[in-house]
């Protein structure tokens, strides 16, 4: 398994987005929950807050989180660490992380 310290949390979030997009039902649920139009996903993926939402979605569904981590050869804790790091980058004033 790969390291539990994410070097690139944005890259991990993009990989998670691709994983979500590969399953039509999961992608539909993600789009419904975020309210984003499918045509806006590519542009939104440039925004750290959107990438944070991708990891939020993944972490809210443990079986999905575990499947993603396994597909990437990662420990689930690596995704959690990436979320934490990305949260700091997206919202530096937030003190919980």
45-92 per-position pLDDT tens digit: 999 999 999 999 999 999 999 999 999 999 999 999 999 999 988 877
> What is the model's pLDDT at position 97?
47
Q: Judge whether 96 lies within some domain.
A: no
Integer Cα distance of 2 and 52 in angstroms = 21
Q: Judge whether 77 lies within some domain.
A: yes
pTM of the model: 0.86
Q: Judge whether 2 lies within some domain.
A: no
Where does the pLDDT of residue 43 fall: very low under 50, low under 70, confident under 90, or very high at 90 and above? very high
Count of structural domains within the chain: 1
Integer Cα distance of 80 and 58 in angstroms = 10
| pLDDT(96) > 80 | no
Q: Which residues of 62-86 are buried (b: 16+ CB within 10 A; e: fewer)?
A: eebbeebbeebebebebbbbbbebb
Q: Tell me what the mean pLDDT of segment 4-27 comes to.
A: 89
**Which residue range forms the structural domain that includes residue 49?**
9-90
Instruction: Supply the mean pLDDT for the chain.
Output: 89
């Amino acid at each position: 398994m790969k390291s539990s310290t994410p070097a690139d949390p944005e890259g991990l979030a993009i990989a998670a987005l691709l994983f979500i997009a590969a399953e039509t039902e999961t992608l539909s649920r993600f789009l419904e929950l975020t309210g984003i139009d499918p045509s806006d996903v590519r542009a939104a993926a440039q925004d750290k807050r959107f990438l944070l939402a991708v990891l939020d979605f993944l972490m809210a569904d443990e079986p999905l989180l575990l499947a993603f981590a396994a597909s990437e050869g990662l420990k689930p804790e690596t995704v959690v660490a990436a979320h934490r790091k990305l949260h700091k980058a997206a919202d530096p004033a937030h003190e919980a992380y």
